[in-house]
Amino acid sequence: MNSVRNNEIKITALLLTATLALGQQPAPGSTRSAETIIVTGSFEPLPLEESNRAVSSIEVPTGSGLTTSFVDYMHQDSSVDLQQREVDGVQADLSIRGSSFGQTLVLLNGLRINDAQTGHHNLDIPIPLASLDRIEVLHGSGSTLYGADALGGAVNFVTQEPRAAELRFRAAAGNFGLNEQRMSAEVSDPRFSERITASRDASSGFEPDRDYRSSSTSSETWLHSGMGATDILIGGSDRPFGANQFYGNFPSWERTKSWFASVNQQLGQNTDISAGYRRHSDVFVLIRSQPAVYENNHVSQSWQLALRRTAEWKKNIVFAYGATADRDQIDSNNLGSHARNRGAGYANLDLRYLRRLSLSLGVREELLEGGRSEFSPTIAGALWLRSELKMKASVSRAFRLPTYTDLYYRDPANIGNPLLKPEIAWSYEVGPEWNHKGIISLQSTFFHRHDQNDIDYVRNSPAGPWRALNVQQVTFDGIETALALSTLKRSERFQIGYTILQASLQPFAGMSKYVFNYPYHQAALTWSSQPLSQIALLSNLRVVQRVATDPYAVWDLAASRAKGRFRPFVQFSNLSSSHYQEITGVDMPGRSAVAGIEVVLARQGRP
């Protein structure tokens, strides 16, 4: 314990000496300018620097040979905890500010991706990485904006219409039998644009029964008419993987498939309507070599419809309002067949005064099947003390509905509870933000979240099964800080973020499975550079200490040719070969390397 405490003190002293304590700015090497427009954390698009919520925007460069999956980008945010069971996002749980994997909402272009079966599948993103333009992360409650599940925050994967004609091919190979193939094709016209992407990643695994084979494809079409823009997206993914030790001491196997379709239609300048459909299947075999012993088959489906409208009453007063309808259902040999419907109405008033004060007042009433309702208000504001310095603060309420696994699942190691209540949380945050001409920025956010009826799995002995129950009260307190520096030409950027988090739990008998697996300390240091016009470099170092564990560090480094038709690249992961587990009992791989080449055929795009 003394060594753990000494390491903890060293980590804290080192980072505090650097005068850091979290907040989030765009990530180095993948950061937008000061005029970055975000669509997450507000009811209308606005510049990132004008947001009165803690939001980070991480650019996903087209065809970058510096990264492999969305996980590489999200690791740059020190308030985001990705607890991977397998690398490259094959199977990972997402947490923000200590939330459980079910308390974070995942969105794709503002539409819900969260899985009604279990939060373990929320990051089954149904489109390839090459389809994405950026990843926006809302820190703190988002139920007023998006409804259920956004207790800790929300992650919005955002696509963007292409501006040129381009064709890309990519192939790579590496340790543990890794091989990957990627393709993207884009065309662009003032009235019609199209992007088609496909990817395949496979590995024989660094341990027995840790192999995987992931593939995904998508098509997105943009049309422009006198009525407004139309965006049509269709995507799907298939992920079979060895799940050795993933859910207990078993050599398991799993295969998930995801299909997603959405359409967004603008109706003039101030109104738009969106519709989405998601289908997700999950085949789980407890003992891979003996599937007859225990096998689960689940199919979940969800439908969603959203109508949004904004009205500018005066130059500095904007009123936004709308309605949503959602339905989800599941058919499972273990969980049974269930369905539920809900609808919501919301309204928000944005007030801005001479660029010195902004205030947002939002409310949402969610009507659940069976007569229950959830009211989710938010008050958020910012006060500019100087042109480059402002204070932000917010208060909000959020809720989460139990998944079907929480309610009905049963296997030799886990037992659900059909009497579970919805989770409720009140969140509070305050902190300063300083931004000097987009060259240097520093911000800190102090936050507090008070949860009621958190869903956890508890057991009374190491040999007993985990049983789902509501924990009456849990509180989370923390501070998050980020410092970002960039050169005037933005060819080099440095960012360091640090989050401290502490939870207190109402005493109860038994051992907790999920609530106390959060990172007590987490730091992320990212450096990107393009020292020569032809070469791009990216370094990312994470230092993590989870509750009751020793700290570990993971360092990734990558280099690629940044221009030209032929662009070779190399990526190194876990250079220090640290031994670590993000999920208890599930080892992560040591040092590995990937090398490959990307071929780019492009022509000049429209402005």
pLDDT at 2: 40
pLDDT at 132: 94
Residue 3: which of 374, 550, 377 has the closest Cα?
550
Going along the chain from its start, the domains and CATH numbers come out as 2-602 (2.40.170.20)
Instruction: Give the H or E element holding residue 5.
Output: helix 2-17
pLDDT at 313: 84
Residue 482: which of 22, 16, 28 has the closest Cα?
22
What is residue 8's three-state secondary structure? helix
- Which residues have a Cβ under 8 Å from the Cβ of 158 and sit 6 or more positions away? 39, 40, 109, 132, 133, 134, 135, 136
pLDDT at 35: 67
- The pLDDT tens digits for 172-189 are 999 999 999 999 999 999
242-258 core/surface letters (b: 16 or more CB in 10 A; e: else): bbbbbbeebbbbbebbb
Separation between Cα atoms, residue 152 and residue 333, nearest integer Å: 32
What count of residues does the chain have?
Answer: 607
- The pLDDT tens digits for 25-44 are 333 333 344 467 888 888 88
Helix boundaries (H) for 98-253: 143-146
74 φ/ψ angles, rounded to the nearest 5 degrees: -70, -20
Output 351-357 pairs: Cβ under 8 A, ≥24 positions apart. 351/316, 351/317, 352/316, 352/317, 353/316, 355/384, 355/387, 356/383, 356/384, 357/381, 357/382, 357/383, 357/384
Separation between Cα atoms, residue 138 and residue 150, nearest integer Å: 9
Q: How far is CA 164 from CA 30, 154, 535, in A?
A: 20, 31, 23
pLDDT at 471: 87
CA angle 17, 517, 10 (to 5 degrees): 20
pLDDT at 508: 67
C-beta of residue 415 within 8 angstroms of C-beta of residue 409? yes
Residue 96: which of 64, 140, 62, 135 has the closest Cα?
140
Residue 396: which of 425, 372, 422, 374 has the closest Cα?
425
C-beta of residue 66 within 8 angstroms of C-beta of residue 560? yes
Q: What is the 3-state secondary structure (H, E, C) of 51-95?
A: CCCCEEEEECCCCCCCCCCHHHHHCCCCCEEEEEEECCCCEEEEE
- The pLDDT tens digits for 387-439 are 899 999 999 999 999 999 999 998 888 899 999 999 999 999 999 999 988 78
Q: How many helices (H) and strands (E) does the chain have?
A: 4, 36
214 φ/ψ angles, rounded to the nearest 5 degrees: -115, 135
Separation between Cα atoms, residue 363 and residue 377, nearest integer Å: 4
DSSP string, 424-439: EEEEEEEEEEEEETTT
Give me the residues of the chain with pLDDT under 70, please. 1-35, 63, 488-490, 507-508, 604-607
C-beta of residue 545 within 8 angstroms of C-beta of residue 563? no
C-beta of residue 158 within 8 angstroms of C-beta of residue 43? no
